[in-house]
């Protein structure tokens, strides 16, 4: 069933070169979709970057560039049915009194304005047929953790975008939902844990084990777990869901 779940659908995923975006893109391809992979030019050019059926350079901080890339993807694929706004940044941990507001603006430009631009410019390509939009939030959209004010604020904003867009776009048959992953051992997370260890934090292996021990499943959520959740939300299996956030955290948040 999974192999045909998205048969004939055209999907676009931002931040698709690596990590969760690449895992989602691959899952969509395996389910029968044609996938346009959008990412920053430097990410697409990096060794091992996932290219999808169609790779397009896109800086989501540039709304005009987002519009152009989405239009090119829709033209190349013959339309769009699914859009995943996954591109995002995770800033360094900082105490409240140490906030860097240049960093704040840079992260908000990607995590919030970039998501809003992706949604806004996708609508003209979805509204005649309906479709699914999936935004990448985080468990930090529902709870917070010390030293993560900026990331938490940006992901709370993603839920606001999702809820408002769901109300606006339902009349076109466009469903808008969000995923809220817990810690996932992506390359990016491993890199942050190494950085944290260099600043006196626990070794990465210990940190990952601690994450796993906190969950009812006794393990962290994986990239594949998140990709399968995205596949569900993109498919007709979720035809009655909009304006919802789906945690993928191995039960970390009660």
172 an active-site residue? no
From residue 58, how far is each of 18, 42, 168 by CA, in Å? 14, 10, 26
Percentage of residues in the chain with pLDDT exceeding 90? 87
| CATH number for region 2-184+222-239 | 3.40.50.720
Q: What pLDDT was estimated at residue 13?
A: 98
Grouped pLDDT means (10 residues each) for the chain, 254 residues: 86 97 98 98 96 95 98 98 97 95 98 98 97 98 94 98 98 98 86 84 90 94 97 98 98 90
Q: With contact defined as beta carbons under 8 Å apart, do 113 and 42 qualify? A: no
Per the structure block, which two tokens stand in for 10? 């055209």
The pTM for the full model equals 0.95
- DSSP tag of 113: I
Which residues share a beta bridge with 179?
136, 246
| Catalytic residue (choose from 27, 151, 177, 231) | 151
- Rounded to an integer, what distance in angstroms lies between the CA atom of residue 248 and that of residue 179? 7
pLDDT of residue 3: 72
| Digit-coded pLDDT (tens) for 63-72 | 999 999 999 9
The pLDDT, as a whole number, for residue 224 is: 97
Q: What is the pLDDT of residue 193?
A: 84
In the prediction, which pLDDT does 254 show? 82
List pLDDT tens digits, range 176-226: 999 999 999 887 788 878 888 888 889 999 988 998 999 999 999 999 999
Exposure string for 199-224, b = 16+ CB within 10 A, e = fewer: eeeeebeebbeebbeebeeeebbbbe
Q: What is the pLDDT of residue 73?
A: 98
Residue 205: predicted pLDDT: 92
At residue 191, the pLDDT reads 80
Query: Any idea which residue has 């006196």 for tokens?
Result: 200
46 in Cβ contact with 94 (< 8 Å): no
- What distance in Å separates the CA atoms of residue 246 and residue 177, rounded to the nearest whole number? 8
Which part of the chain is CATH 3.40.50.720? 2-184+222-239
């Amino acid at each position: 069933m999974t192999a045909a779940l998205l048969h004939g659908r055209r999907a676009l995923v931002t931040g698709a070169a690596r990590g969760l975006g690449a895992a989602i893109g691959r899952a969509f391809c395996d389910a029968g979709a044609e996938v346009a992979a959008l990412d920053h030019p430097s990410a697409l050019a990096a060794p091992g970057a996932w290219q999808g059926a169609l790779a397009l350079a896109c800086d989501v901080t540039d709304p005009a560039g987002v519009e152009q890339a989405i239009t090119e993807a829709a033209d190349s694929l013959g339309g769009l049915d699914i859009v995943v706004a996954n591109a995002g940044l995770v800033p360094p941990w900082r105490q409240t009194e140490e906030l860097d507001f240049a960093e704040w603006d840079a992260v908000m430009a990607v995590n919030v304005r970039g998501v809003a631009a992706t949604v806004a410019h996708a609508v003209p390509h979805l509204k005649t047929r309906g479709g699914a939009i999936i935004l990448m939030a985080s468990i930090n959209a529902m709870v917070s953790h010390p030293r993560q004010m900026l990331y938490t604020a940006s992901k709370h904003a993603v839920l606001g975008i999702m809820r408002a867009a769901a109300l606006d776009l339902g009349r076109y048959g466009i469903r808008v939902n969000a995923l809220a992953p817990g810690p996932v051992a992506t390359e990016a997370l491993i890199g942050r844990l190494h950085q944290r260890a260099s600043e006196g934090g626990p070794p990465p292996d210990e940190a990952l084990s601690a994450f796993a021990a906190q969950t009812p499943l006794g393990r962290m959520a994986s990239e594949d777990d998140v990709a399968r959740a995205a596949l569900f939300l993109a498919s007709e299996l979720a035809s009655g869901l909009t304006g919802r956030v789906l945690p993928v955290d191995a039960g970390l948040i009660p």
